[in-house]
């Protein structure tokens, strides 16, 4: 996948991105929102091996670039029956809360619906992550359910999640 809009790029992650991904994924400040306040404790070698198994029809890890500089990551996974599950993380704290996530999501979702023929996009987030929920809802996502205390983070703290879905006719893009 290679998507561009103005100075924004979404591209397939490669083995060359593994050190950057490892730095982000091992940083507890970056990963706390996902339930890993101590980071993932992974290696570039493990990440490179995982990326080597990515395929367009099963799962794809993606790099977000702003003016050719990596600032975050996305992924999509084929759940079957025309459904893709997506995730996004703006890892550069200085680039957060600037409206970039909404634009990157618009680019990916448009491609998944139009180019890949998915009919439903699924995602979830921590219930406390109201900023992300606002972004998802502005794109047309609809809450499916709230899962109270459905998982425990690295520190043993119970966490709740909210699940969302989006269909093509409800999608509101934020790219021109």
Q: What are the extents of the domains in the chain?
A: 2-122
pLDDT bracket for residue 61 (50, 70, 90) = very high
Output the average pLDDT for the chain: 95
d(CA 85, CA 64): 17
At residue 34 the predicted structure's pLDDT band, cuts being 50, 70 and 90, is: confident
Is 80 exceeded by the pLDDT of residue 176?
A: no
**What value does the mean pLDDT take over residues 153-161?**
91
133 has pLDDT over 90: yes
pLDDT category at 59 given cuts 50, 70, 90 is very high
**pLDDT in the model for residue 111:** 97
Superfamily of domain 2-122: Gcn5-related N-acetyltransferase (GNAT) (3.40.630.30)
Q: Model's pTM, two decimal places? A: 0.94
Instruction: Mark residue 145 as left, alpha or beta (left: phi above 0; alpha: psi -120 to 50; beta: remaining).
Output: beta
Average pLDDT for residues 90-116, to the nearest whole number?
96
Q: pLDDT-derived band of residue 35, with 50, 70 and 90 as boundaries? A: confident
Q: What is the pLDDT of residue 175?
A: 87
Residues facing residue 146 across a β-bridge:
162
Closest CA relative to residue 20, chosen from 98, 92, 128, 108: 92
Rounded to 5°, the CA angle 20-42-154 comes to: 115
Q: What Rg, from alpha-carbon coordinates, does the chain have?
A: 16
Cα separation, 119 vs 167, in Å, equals 6
Cα(102)–Cα(94) distance, integer angstroms: 16
Q: What is the pLDDT of residue 32?
A: 87
């Amino acid at each position: 996948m290679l998507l561009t809009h103005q100075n924004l790029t979404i591209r397939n992650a490669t083995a060359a991105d593994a050190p950057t991904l490892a730095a982000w994924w091992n940083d507890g400040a970056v990963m706390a929102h996902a339930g890993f306040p101590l980071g993932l404790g992974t290696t570039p070698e493990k990440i490179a091996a995982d990326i080597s198994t990515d395929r367009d029809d099963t799962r794809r890890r993606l790099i977000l670039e702003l003016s050719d500089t990596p600032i975050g990551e996305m992924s999509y996974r084929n759940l079957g029956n025309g459904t893709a599950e997506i995730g996004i993380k703006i890892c550069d704290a200085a680039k957060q809360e600037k409206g970039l996530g909404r634009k990157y999501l618009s680019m990916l979702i448009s491609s998944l619906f139009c180019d890949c023929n998915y009919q439903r996009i699924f995602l979830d987030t921590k219930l406390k992550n109201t900023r992300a929920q606002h972004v998802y809802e502005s794109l047309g996502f609809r809450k499916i359910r709230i899962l109270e205390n459905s998982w425990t983070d690295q520190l043993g703290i119970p966490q709740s999640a909210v699940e969302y879905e989006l269909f093509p006719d409800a999608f509101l893009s934020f790219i021109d």
